[in-house]
Amino acid sequence: MQRFFISLLLVLSLTFSLLSQETKNTANGSQHKLKSNTELCKATYQAKQDTGYVFIFASGEHGTPGYRTFFKQSKKDIFPPEFSFWHIKPEKIVIQVPTSFSDSTKFRSKNPVKSVTVYDATGRHVVKVQ
């Protein structure tokens, strides 16, 4: 019986070790080495062009505080660039209180841009640039 529990503990520790170094696929097909507590986020998006830049804004709500959000630009060599939107889940136990978030990114553009593409947990979003 003791051997069984030792074997079970070894299998579980190996599984958790592999999960913490898992490679995740983004919705647009590129791969990034991410911690297991990093995943695509869900948000609403707006975009605006001003003074030689295109700004992309994300806003939404998480069920708890402590999430960190960020945009990641695709490695695809296209213009306008595509982005994915991610969050890092809190590593510790946190209070269950809905918490709003907002984040933004930008890229340079001398020419008018009609729309930008953002991938998140719900899929592909084509965001009209205002």
Domain parsing of the chain, residue ranges: 2-128
Q: What backbone phi and psi angles, to 5 degrees, belong to 54?
A: -110, 125
Query: How far is 116 from 95, CA to CA, in rounded Å?
Result: 35
Percentages of the chain per state (helix, strand, coil), in multiples of 5: 15, 45, 40
Mean pLDDT of the chain, nearest integer: 81
SS3 26: coil
pLDDT of residue 126 exceeding 80, the answer is: yes
Whole-number pLDDT of residue 35? 66
pLDDT of residue 21 exceeding 90, the answer is: no
pLDDT tens for each residue of 24-37: 444 444 444 566 78
> Measured at the alpha carbon of residue 124, what is the angle toward residues 28 and 38, in degrees to the nearest 5?
60
Query: How far is 42 from 87, CA to CA, in rounded Å?
Result: 9
Whole-number pLDDT of residue 34? 62
SS3 69: strand
Stronger pLDDT, 59 or 5, i.e. the higher one: 59
pLDDT of residue 18 exceeding 80, the answer is: no
SS3 11: helix
pLDDT tens for each residue of 74-102: 999 999 999 999 999 999 999 999 999 99
Mean pLDDT of 56-65: 97
